[in-house]
Amino acid sequence: MTTKLKETDVVIVGLGAAGGVAALPLAQAGIEVVGLEAGTWLTRRDFAPDELRNNYRGWPQGIQKANQEIPTSRANAASATAPRGAIHPMQNAVGGTTLHYWAQSWRLNPWDFKVVSETKRRYGASRLPPGSTVEDWPFGLDELEPYYDKVEYEVGVSGQAGNVNGKIDPRGNPFEGARTRAYPMPPLRSTDFLDKMTAAARSLGWNPFPGPAAVNSRAYQNRSACMYHGFCNRGGCHVDAKNSTAVTTIPRAQATGRLKIVTRAHVTTIEVDGNGQVTGVNYLADGVEYFQPAKAVLLASYTYENVRMLLLSKSKVFAKGLANNRGQVGRHYFSHHMGAGVSALFPWNTNAWYGLPAQGVAVDNWADDNFDHGGLDFIGGGNLWVYSDRRPIGAAGMNTFGRAPNWGSAWKTFIKENADRSNSAYIQKSTLPYEDNYLDLDPQVKDPLGYAVCRVTAEYKENERKLSAFTQDKMEQWYRAAGAIAIQRAPLGGAMGVSTHAYGGTRMGDNPDTNVVNRWGFAHEAPNLGVLGASVMGTSGAHNPTLTVQALAWRTAEHLVKNWRNIGRT
Ligand SMILES: Cc1cc2nc3c(=O)[nH]c(=O)nc-3n(C[C@H](O)[C@H](O)[C@H](O)COP(=O)(O)OP(=O)(O)OC[C@H]3O[C@@H](n4cnc5c(N)ncnc54)[C@H](O)[C@@H]3O)c2cc1C
Ligand code: SF4
């Protein structure tokens, strides 16, 4: 039997990067919030610099909800389903994946909001890739800038500004859109190797700069500065220098007395009334079923679960799933093209045994539309990212660049000599949505509660593969300029699979026929349902998503506060 609880103003489903931010402006405005979180609180005592545990045994997902509902995936509707992964990389805990993410904290560039109109203006409509469903965002970077600024200061981001109010600073990214002020903290420190890479980029006439990180470069908000000891790639920070929402916005929202957090609360479905307004959510905690009524619901459970939850929440008004009468839930899906990296071998040590993946040097000259595509046959580009992070097991798995076998004493000798002489760049590339890339419910595979898991049907198309080859050329040029003696390139990419940067599925836009949520993040078909996360984003740009996800979450929550009488169910 379901226990019906006392009604609250707002329920947030999931207290991760997005939900953990949205709670703060709501609670500060006097709105009563219940945060339902599938995981528990983790503290600095739960985090360990243990590569085996963090990176190979999938800590702590092995015992968690995410691992029991890993999406299935296939390249396209005609291809077979790929073997299912054993570990889901996303986190179930208060703070969500911000606990163990890399913490690169990027804004999008101005072009990312206007891919369609800018491509038509600069190169003509024929340059938009065939089959792409990309649309301009319903607003530009200027509208999101105040929210980027807000989150950078509330959460704490270290970085070097490149464009403050239109004034270009050559130490930062000259391609970034104008910002109103500098970052709250200076960038993380550099290393000899990063300095060499910076000098090499400058010798090519490029504009290298230190990347932004949600990690304290100095003490901030009474928490420690980073110690640069590493192991926070898929591990939490045991000195709270990584600015997860669990140590920033969530405790601040709790301090208002208006955020109640229920942990181990697994939300299964969202309920609606006969008018299509949401009335609350059903959840399970310790095997007991509850219904939490609310005047408004904010769904913030990461892209795959956001889409799955809507598709599973069927009713008389929404027979195909909540907010899906126009069949848009699950459409316009894509994941960042993060593969197709480049590895280099140097004749000297890089001393990368300490450091963290958010400590690095970036080049944006070949990102987005920062260069002329007139003579090229693709649109978009990639952010080149070289960072300082190396751990023992990962190092032993290094590329041998065709210079040694992959086993035996010759291999051991090669690894011993070269383990600190290689570097692998991470190239984050803009990726577009396409007609035949989508999410839906798997017809066969179910979670332990009997609910269908999400199914990914998606592959990288010609445009993304061409820009991957182009950015690999640029990365090779950069490594060679720094003295690399061998280069290895990863394959250009085929099936998308399950991703940590998953976009779309509940896209934001003014047109209800092609988008699930409106420009404020509320469902066109169910106006008191807000959706938070990269599932609302229609383009990815060439930079990691989380700061944008958090800026959008703040904006949606603020809109709810300002329009409470119109949006909240009476
Ligand atoms: C290893 C790794 C490194 C990354 N590095 C970066 C980086 O450097 N920069 C960057 O921008 N991004 C990075 N990302 C991506 C980043 O983590 C995501 O963009 C971000 O966390 C997404 O925010 P979210 O709130 O949508 O999801 P999450 O942060 O995952 O939060 C979702 C929350 O919802 C909860 N939840 C899920 N389902 C339910 C349910 N049914 N009921 C109740 N609660 C539920 C979960 O427990 C979780 O707490 C990384 C990801 C990984 C895995
Ligand atoms: S490297 Fe810095 S952010 Fe990472 S765990 Fe250590 S102190 Fe924390």
Secondary structure of 276-345 in HEC code, one letter for each residue: CCEEEEEEEECCEEEEEEEEEEEECCCHHHHHHHHHHCCCCCCCCCCCCCCCCCCCCCEECECCCCEEEE
Question: Please, which pLDDT band fits residue 537 given cuts at 50, 70 and 90?
Answer: very high
Say what the pLDDT of residue 63 is.
Answer: 63
Q: Tokens 């504009």 label which residue? A: 207
**Between 230 and 278, whose confidence is greater?**
278
**The two structure tokens encoding residue 566:** 């119109």
Ligand 2 site, residue 237, Cβ cutoff 6 A:
yes
**In a mutational test of the pocket of ligand 2, which residue from 47, 229, 234 has the highest number of ligand atoms less than 8 Å from its CB?**
229
DSSP string, 406-447: SSHHHHHHHHHHHTTSEEEEEEEE----BTT-EEEEEEEEE-
Q: What's this model's pTM, rounded to 2 decimal places?
A: 0.98
> How confident is the model over 426-468, as pLDDT tens digits?
999 999 999 999 999 999 999 999 999 999 999 999 999 999 9
Question: Please, which pLDDT band fits residue 60 given cuts at 50, 70 and 90?
Answer: low
Residue pair 333/438 in contact (Cβ under 8 Å)? The answer is: yes
From the list 104, 90, 380, the residue with the least C-alpha distance to 243 is 104
Average confidence (pLDDT) over 276-301: 97
Residue 335 has pLDDT above 80, yes or no: yes
Q: Which residues contact 459 (CB under 8 A, 6 or more apart)?
A: 75, 76, 437, 494, 495, 496
**The two structure tokens encoding residue 208:** 């290298």
Say what the pLDDT of residue 58 is.
Answer: 76
Q: Write the burial class of residue 565 (CB in 10 Å: 0-12 exposed, 13-18 middle, 19+ buried).
A: exposed
For residue 98, the CA-to-ligand 1 centroid distance in Å is 6
Say what the pLDDT of residue 83 is.
Answer: 87
Question: Please, which pLDDT band fits residue 155 given cuts at 50, 70 and 90?
Answer: very high
For residue 42, give the amino acid letter.
L
| Least confident interval from 33-42, 82-91, 260-269, 416-425 | 82-91
For residue 278, give the amino acid letter.
V
Share of the chain above pLDDT 70, in %: 99
Residues with a CB atom less than 6 Å from ligand 1 = 13-19, 36-39, 89-93, 96-98, 100-104, 234, 265-267, 300-302, 305, 358, 500-501, 533-534, 544-546, 549
Residue 2 has pLDDT above 70, yes or no: yes
| Rounded distance between C-alpha atoms, residue 64 and residue 57, angstroms | 13
Question: Given the DSSP bridges, would you call strands 452-457 and 438-446 parallel, antiparallel or unpaired?
Answer: antiparallel
Ligand 2 site, residue 213, Cβ cutoff 6 A:
no
DSSP 390: -
Mean pLDDT score of the chain:
95
Ligand 2 site, residue 241, Cβ cutoff 6 A:
yes
Q: Which residues contact 570 (CB under 8 A, 6 or more apart)?
A: 295
For residue 128, the CA-to-ligand 2 centroid distance in Å is 42
**The two structure tokens encoding residue 469:** 């080859």
| Rounded distance between C-alpha atoms, residue 480 and residue 345, angstroms | 10
The ligand with the least distance to the CA atom of 41 is 1
Residue 389 has pLDDT above 90, yes or no: no
Say what the pLDDT of residue 356 is.
Answer: 93
Share of the chain above pLDDT 90, in %: 86
Ligand 2 site, residue 226, Cβ cutoff 6 A:
yes
Say what the pLDDT of residue 86 is.
Answer: 79
Say what the pLDDT of residue 504 is.
Answer: 98
| Rounded distance between C-alpha atoms, residue 141 and residue 143, angstroms | 5
Q: Write the burial class of residue 275 (CB in 10 Å: 0-12 exposed, 13-18 middle, 19+ buried).
A: exposed
Say what the pLDDT of residue 61 is.
Answer: 61
Q: Classify 51 as helix, strand or coil.
A: helix
> How confident is the model over 11-52, as pLDDT tens digits?
999 999 999 999 999 999 999 999 999 999 998 888 888 888
The ligand with the least distance to the CA atom of 391 is 2
Say what the pLDDT of residue 44 is.
Answer: 85
For residue 317, give the amino acid letter.
V
Q: Cα-flanking dihedrals φ and ψ of residue 82, to 5°?
A: -75, 160
Say what the pLDDT of residue 440 is.
Answer: 98
